[in-house]
Homo-oligomer: A and B are copies of this chain.
């Protein structure tokens, strides 16, 4: 059983909070900038929404912020007992509401919530918000889904739903590379639920068949091909049309790899279609044959969930609502298996141990790292 939403016993709100903070950034040694701060919150807790943290993932964007190379940055303040202005690290996480101000009716103690915006600082045991509209209720999700819905979940949701007016039920496809990534797996599930077919490109590997089978059976990918097939002219000309069917239209390409993988998925698009780039795993730039732009009317754009949420926060609220419904209907499974969790026992872990744990999680490779707080 996954730890899923349930209302917990009320706990006394302490006088001091504990947060993982940073003042300066460092590209070379980003973990060295972190420290644990115990401080008395400045807010009047009676008049605030007080949250305790249940879990937070460590995302690439969190690390890039510590390195000073991320274009979206939190405001730094002197609120956390530091000498230099500092910010709490982390942009994503799920919290439980402990108390709300008198008269606040949209939230109740025990609700699970996530912040609407990035840069609020999530690597902390408690957090305080002044407005309920800055939070979104996620009751109904399991812990891992709730802690990752803000970035991966919303990204996948908006990529599938916000750019193409799909004719549902007809033979319409999206193509995506990095088909085994967390976002791609959510894309396939949402697309399937919406009646859109997915062609996922994955790296060549010895166990290609079994990985492809899992993507199809468990995550709802319609078809899976390898990067070498993706790049193979004769495959694209002869085999692919049979795979997709004669009336197939590939209307959207989702690129999180770049380089020749991005060219190859762009080439598969029908005329006047769109490629959205939301990542660049290969570290190669997006590469587009000139003829695709001129003669096939290709449009290439970027996608950044942080910016979208800033521009249109209400959309995120709606997306999450729909996402939760899909989850409840069994259309989207928990990302639990893709996550490596470390426990922060809030009663027994000391500051030194906590800092070490966070640093190890930042350095962790392979699966996504998530810190789960044990209350």
Residues of B within 8 A of A307 (CB): 295, 297
A326 within 8 A of B: no
Mark out the residues of chain A between 241 and 278 whose CB falls within 8 Å of any chain B CB in the assembled complex. 258, 263, 277-278
Which of A81-89, A199-207, A285-293, A365-373 makes up part of the contact surface?
A285-293
Residues of B within 8 A of A296 (CB): 302
Q: How far is the CA of A298 from the CA of B296 in the complex (A)?
A: 19
Q: How far is the CA of A289 from the CA of B304 in the complex (A)?
A: 15
Q: Choose one: B278, B285, B289, B300; the contact of A299 (CB below 8 Å).
A: B300
Interface 0/1 of A114-127, CB less than 8 Å to B: 00000000000000
Q: How far is the CA of A355 from the CA of B297 in the complex (A)?
A: 36
A71's nearest neighbour on chain B, judged by CB, is: B295
User: Which secondary structure dominates where chain A touches chain B?
Assistant: mixed
Band of interface residues on A: 20 to 34
Residues of B within 8 A of A285 (CB): 263, 287-290
Q: How many chain copies does the complex carry?
A: 2
Q: How far is the CA of A360 from the CA of B300 in the complex (A)?
A: 40
A293's nearest neighbour on chain B, judged by CB, is: B302
A303 within 8 A of B: yes
Q: How far is the CA of A303 from the CA of B294 in the complex (A)?
A: 5
Q: Choose one: B71, B279, B291; the contact of A290 (CB below 8 Å).
A: B279
A140 within 8 A of B: no
A280 within 8 A of B: yes
A102 within 8 A of B: no
Residues of B within 8 A of A277 (CB): 290, 293-294
Q: Choose one: B279, B286, B293, B302; the contact of A287 (CB below 8 Å).
A: B286
Residues of B within 8 A of A301 (CB): 293, 297-300
Q: How far is the CA of A300 from the CA of B298 in the complex (A)?
A: 8
Cβ of A299 and Cβ of B297 under 8 Å apart? no
Q: How far is the CA of A307 from the CA of B295 in the complex (A)?
A: 8
A262 → B minimal CB distance (Å): 9
Q: Which of A277, A285, A289, A299 has the most CB of B within 10 A?
A: A285
A132 → B minimal CB distance (Å): 30
A179 → B minimal CB distance (Å): 18
Q: Choose one: B258, B295, B300; the contact of A300 (CB below 8 Å).
A: B300
A278's nearest neighbour on chain B, judged by CB, is: B294
Cβ of B297 and Cβ of A286 under 8 Å apart? no
Q: Which of A263, A293, A295 has the most CB of B within 10 A?
A: A293
Cβ of B290 and Cβ of A298 under 8 Å apart? no
Q: How far is the CA of A60 from the CA of B303 in the complex (A)?
A: 36
Interface 0/1 of A294-338, CB less than 8 Å to B: 111111111110010000000000000000000000000000000
A301's nearest neighbour on chain B, judged by CB, is: B299
A80 → B minimal CB distance (Å): 27
A49 → B minimal CB distance (Å): 31
Q: Choose one: B263, B292, B304; the contact of A294 (CB below 8 Å).
A: B304
17 CB-based A-B contacts, threshold 8 Å: A71-B295, A258-B290, A278-B294, A279-B294, A285-B287, A285-B289, A286-B287, A288-B288, A288-B300, A293-B301, A293-B302, A293-B303, A297-B301, A297-B302, A297-B307, A299-B300, A300-B301
* Additional pairs, 11, CB under 8 Å, beyond known A71-B295, A279-B290, A296-B302: A277-B290, A280-B290, A285-B290, A286-B290, A286-B293, A293-B302, A294-B303, A294-B304, A295-B304, A297-B307, A299-B301
Task: Give 9 closest A-B pairs by Cβ, nearest first.
Answer: A293-B302, A280-B290, A294-B302, A300-B300, A277-B293, A286-B288, A71-B295, A294-B304, A285-B287
